[in-house]
Amino acid sequence: MTLPDAGSAAFHGVDAQALLAALPDPVALLGPSGQVILNRAAQARVAQYSATGDWMALFQGSSVAPIQDAVQAALRGETRQVTVQVVDTVAPGLLTVAPTAGGALLHLHVARDPLEVALELMDGLGLGMTVQAPDTRILLTNDAAARILGMTREQLLGRDSMDPEWRAVHPDGTDFPGETHPSVQALRSMQVQRDVPMGVYHPGEAAWRWLQVTAIPRRAPGATQPKQVTTVFADVTERQQMQAEVRRSERRFRSLVEATTQVVWNTDPAGSLLPPQPRWEEFTGQTPDEYRGTGWLDAVHPDDRAGAIHDWQVALNTGGLYTTEYRLRRADGTYVPMLTRGVPIIDERGQLLEWLGTNTDLSAIREAEQALKLLNAELEERVQQRTQELAQLTRFSTLLLTAAGESIFGLDARGVTTFANPAAARMLGHSIESMIGQEQHALVHHHHADGRPFPLEDCPIHQTLLDGQTRRVDRDVMWHAQGHAVPVAYVVTPTHDQAGEVNGAVIMVQDITERVRAQTQLQELIDDLERSNQDLEQFAYVASHDLQEPLRTVGSYAELLARRYQGQLDPRADQYLHFMQDAVTRMRSLIQDLLSFARLSRTELNFAPVTLNDLMLAAQQNVQATLDAAGGTLTWDTPDQVWGQGSLLTQLLTNLVSNGLKFQRPGQPAKVHVTSRQEGDMIHVSVRDNGIGIAPEYHARIFEIFQRLHRRETYAGNGMGLAICRKITEHHGGRIWLESAPDQGSTFHLTLPAVPHP
Ligand code: ADP
C-alpha cells in the first residue's frame, strides 16, 4: 500500500509501511471499506485491552463520540485534532485524525504522565519511588523501590502502609509503626516529609537497610480529592556505615587531639584573639576581656614574651607557619611549657580567613620522650650486653676450637669426622682437610697401644654414638700420620638433633705423652729410691748387727781393765778408762737404736685391734722411773681402738711421752696429756706437753735420724726417737706432725688406722 501524498515532498517514494512500523506512537489506518490497519505500537497497546484487537478499546467511553466525529470529518477531507482519554494513563492523549485516499489516518500521541517519567527517572538514579492512594495502597512503584525493599513490584503494588508485614525501625532501634511512616504523615498533613531516616528489614538479605525517605503529598490531577502521596527513598545503608566509620575515626582523632593538645584557639587574619576561646579560657583562666587582642600575652611567662611576640610577628608578616615555645600560665598559676603552632587558613581565592592554632603541653611530651629515651637506652644496653655476650661466646668457642691445647673432633652419627681443630691436626700429623669426611676410627683409632687391632664395636666413641652416653677414657692411644701411637685421654660427648636423637659426638682429646713420661719417670724414681732405701736399711742392719760384736769385745775388755787396774794407775788413766766405758755404752745404745730402726722395715706387721688405753698403760710403765724421779704427770683420754701392731705402737707412744717429760723447762713440773678421736677412717692421737717447745724451722728436721737440737749434756738422747716414731706411723699408713713454738709446749699429732668394719 502506498500512502497518498500528505503534502510533503520528502515522503515521496518512502515505504509507508516501514514508516508506520517505526513510529513509536500508535497509528491506525481506516480503509474505505471499514477495515483497520494498526502499526506495531498500536498493536501492542490494543492487545492489552482487547482480545479481538478493537482499536477503540484504547479509549475511555467519554472519548468515543469525539473520535467518531473527527473520523467523519476526515472522510470529508478535514484534518482534526481531538483530546482523548486513554484507558491506562492519567494524562490525556492527543489524537490527530487526517484524511487519506478513501479513508482516515489516526495518530495518537499520549503525553506521558510526569509521574511515570519521574518513576523512570528515579529508577535511573537508583532511588526507590512509590505512589500511594489516600488509603496508603501502593498504586505505582519503580524497580528500584522493589529492589531496595527486597520484594517484587507485584508484591509491592496494592500493599498499604499499615500492612503488619512491614518491619521498620528508627535509627535508635525503636519500632517505626506504619501509621507514623512519612508517607502517611504527608497524606495526613499535606506537608512534605523530608529526609526521614528509616531502617527497613530486607527479607532476602536478612539484614536491615537504612533508608532516607522523602514523602511529597499531592492532589490527584483534575480533582480536589482524592489526594496521593509520592515517596522517594534512597538506600543509605552503605553511606550510613561509612558515616559511622567516619564518626568513629573522628572521635578517635578528637580524643587524640584532646589527649595531647591542651588549648585550641583562633584569631582573626590580623592576629587578634577574639572571644569565644573556650579552651583558652578553661586553661589560662583568663576572661575574654583579658585575652582579647594581644591580651593573651599576659598569660605567657614574662621571660618568654619577647620570643613569642617576635615569632608571631614573623608568622603574621609572612603568612607562614607559626611555631614557638613558651611557658603558659595555667589557671592555678603554674607555668606549663607549651609548643605553640598556628596555621593561616586561606580560602580558595587565596584570602586569609583566620589563624588556627594549638598549644601543646610539652611537659607531657617531654615526659614521654624521657620515658622513651630511657626505654631506648635500656633496650640499647640490653642489646649491647647481649651482643657482647654473643661476641664473647663466639670468641670463646673460636678460642676453644682453634687455640685450645686440647684436640677437638666432631663426628656425625656414622662416626665420620665433621670438624677438627688445629690442635687435633697437630697432634695426629694430619691436615684438618684430610681428616674431615674420613671415618675417625679407621683413620686414627684402629689399633690398641700394644698393636692389637681395635674393632669398631669395642670403641667407646662408637658406643657413645649408639647409646648417647658420655664417656671418659683416661688412657688410650690414637695413631699419628707417621705411624706412631700418641698416648691420649679423651671425653666423648654425644650431640643431639632437635628431636633429641643422637646425631653425632664431640671428642675432646688430651695428648698425655708428657704426663705418661712424667709418670714413668716418677715411677722409676720411686723404684730407685725404694731400692736405695732397702740397700741402706740392709747396710744399717748389717752394720749395726756386725758392729755389736767388736763393740761387745771392746766393752768387755774395758770393763776388765777397769776392774783390774782401777786405782792402780795414775788418776788420768782412770779418767781415760771411764771415758772409754762411757763411749762404749753410748755406742751400744746408738747401735741398738739404729738396729731397731733398721729392723722396722724388715718386720712383717701383724695388724690387730689395739686399745689405746692399754697402750697408754704400757707406756706409763715404761716412763715410770722418769715420772718418779722428776715428778711429772701423765694423763690421757683415749677412748678409741686402732688397727695395728701393739708392740710398735707402745714404743711409739713411749717415745713421744718420754720426750714430753724430758724436754722440760727448768723448775717446772712436766705435764703430758694424751687424747684421741676418730676422724673418718683414722684415729687422730695428740700428745701435748708444757715443755720448752720447738721453733718452726726445726719441725721437719727433728724426724730425721740422729737429729737433735740440744747438747747431750743438757738433754740426753741419740736423736733416733722421732725417726723411729715416724717410721712406725708411716708403716701403719698414718702421718705424724707437730704444732709447737718455743716456750709454748709441743703437741705431736699422729694418725693411725681405725679398726676396719668387718
Ligand atoms: P732425742 O733422742 O734427742 O730425744 P728425738 O728424735 O726423740 O731424739 O728428738 C729429736 C730432738 O727433737 C730432740 O733432741 C729435741 O731437741 C727435740 N724434741 C723432741 N721432742 C721434744 C719435745 N717434746 N719438746 C721439745 N723438744 C723436743
Last residue of a domain, one of 555, 580, 600: 600
The domain spanning residue 559 has which CATH number? 1.10.287.130
Domain count, the chain: 6
391-449 pLDDT, tens digit per residue, is: 665 555 555 466 556 788 889 999 999 888 888 888 999 988 888 889 999 999 999 99
Most confident of 386-390, 530-534, 717-721, 751-755: 751-755
Q: Which residues line ligand 1 (CB under 6 A)?
A: 659-660, 663, 689, 691-692, 694, 702, 707-710, 717-723, 746
Mutating to test ligand 1, I would choose from 590, 623, 659 the residue with most ligand atoms within 8 A of its C-beta, which is 659
Instruction: Quote the pLDDT of residue 305.
Output: 92
- C-beta atoms surrounding 616 within 10 Å: 22
Instruction: Decide if 4 is inside a domain.
Output: no
CB under 8 A, 24+ apart: contacts of 139-142: 139/228, 140/115, 140/116
The closest residue, in CA terms, to atom 20 on ligand 1 is 659
Question: How long, in residues, is the chain?
Answer: 758
What is residue 111's DSSP assignment?
A: P
Instruction: Quote the pLDDT of residue 269.
Output: 87
How many angstroms does the Cα of residue 712 sit away from the middle of ligand 1?
A: 11
* More confident position, 551 or 399: 551
What is residue 447's DSSP assignment?
A: B
How many angstroms separate the Cα of 183 from the Cα of each of 133, 134, 531, 578, 712? Answer: 10, 10, 133, 163, 146
Closest Cα partner for 81 from 111, 40, 115?
A: 111
Same domain, 415 and 346: no
**Backbone phi, psi, residue 250, to 5°:** -65, -45
The domain spanning residue 657 has which CATH number? 3.30.565.10
How many angstroms does the Cα of residue 643 sit away from the middle of ligand 1?
A: 27
Same domain, 265 and 333: yes
Instruction: Quote the pLDDT of residue 91.
Output: 61
Which domain range does residue 685 map to?
Answer: 605-753
Same domain, 616 and 736: yes
Mutating to test ligand 1, I would choose from 589, 661, 663 the residue with most ligand atoms within 8 A of its C-beta, which is 663
* More confident position, 122 or 98: 98
Last residue of a domain, one of 394, 425, 448: 394
Burial class (CB in 10 A: 0-12, 13-18, 19+), 292: middle
Same domain, 282 and 312: yes
In DSSP notation, 507-526 reads: EEEEE-HHHHHHHHHHHHHH
How far apart CA 74 and CA 708 sit, in angstroms, is 177
Same domain, 70 and 174: no
The domain spanning residue 364 has which CATH number? 3.30.450.20
Q: Which residues contact 121 (CB under 8 A, 6 or more apart)?
A: none
101-132 pLDDT, tens digit per residue, is: 778 888 887 665 566 666 776 777 778 888 88
How far apart CA 752 and CA 683 sit, in angstroms, is 5
* pLDDT confidence tier of residue 76, bands split at 50, 70 and 90: confident
- The tally of CA atoms less than 13 A away on the side-chain side of residue 95 is 28
How many angstroms does the Cα of residue 652 sit away from the middle of ligand 1?
A: 13
* pLDDT confidence tier of residue 251, bands split at 50, 70 and 90: low
**Backbone phi, psi, residue 690, to 5°:** -115, 30
297-339 pLDDT, tens digit per residue, is: 999 999 999 999 999 999 888 888 888 889 999 888 888 888 8
Distance of CA 120 to the CA centre of its chain: 66
Same domain, 34 and 71: yes
Instruction: Quote the pLDDT of residue 9.
Output: 37
Return the minimum-mean-pLDDT range out of 87-91, 399-403, 567-571, 634-638.
399-403
How far apart CA 74 and CA 102 sit, in angstroms, is 10
Averaged pLDDT of the chain? 83
* pLDDT confidence tier of residue 238, bands split at 50, 70 and 90: confident
689-741 pLDDT, tens digit per residue, is: 999 999 999 998 899 888 888 887 788 888 889 999 998 998 899 999 999 99
Q: Among the atoms of ligand 1, which is closest to the Cα of residue 716?
A: 3
- Give the rounded percent of residues in the chain with a pLDDT score beyond 90: 26
Please check the confidence at residue 250 and state whether its pLDDT lies above 60: no
Instruction: Decide if 303 is inside a domain.
Output: yes
How far apart CA 678 and CA 229 sit, in angstroms, is 121
Grid cell for residue 135: 488509603
* pLDDT confidence tier of residue 11, bands split at 50, 70 and 90: very low
Q: Are strands 407-412 and 736-740 parallel, antiparallel or unpaired?
A: unpaired
Instruction: Quote the pLDDT of residue 536.
Output: 72
Q: Which residues contact 591 (CB under 8 A, 6 or more apart)?
A: 544, 547, 548, 551
Last residue of a domain, one of 110, 128, 152: 110
Q: Among the atoms of ligand 1, which is closest to the Cα of residue 692?
A: 25
Q: Are strands 128-132 and 138-141 parallel, antiparallel or unpaired?
A: antiparallel
Instruction: Quote the pLDDT of residue 18.
Output: 62
Mutating to test ligand 1, I would choose from 674, 708, 746, 749 the residue with most ligand atoms within 8 A of its C-beta, which is 708
Instruction: Quote the pLDDT of residue 5.
Output: 38
Q: Among the atoms of ligand 1, which is closest to the Cα of residue 707?
A: 10
Same domain, 534 and 626: no
Instruction: Decide if 510 is inside a domain.
Output: no
Cell 722421732 maps to which residue? 722
Closest Cα partner for 619 from 656, 644, 589, 592?
A: 656
Same domain, 247 and 389: yes
Closest Cα partner for 617 from 646, 659, 660?
A: 646
Distance of CA 673 to the CA centre of its chain: 69
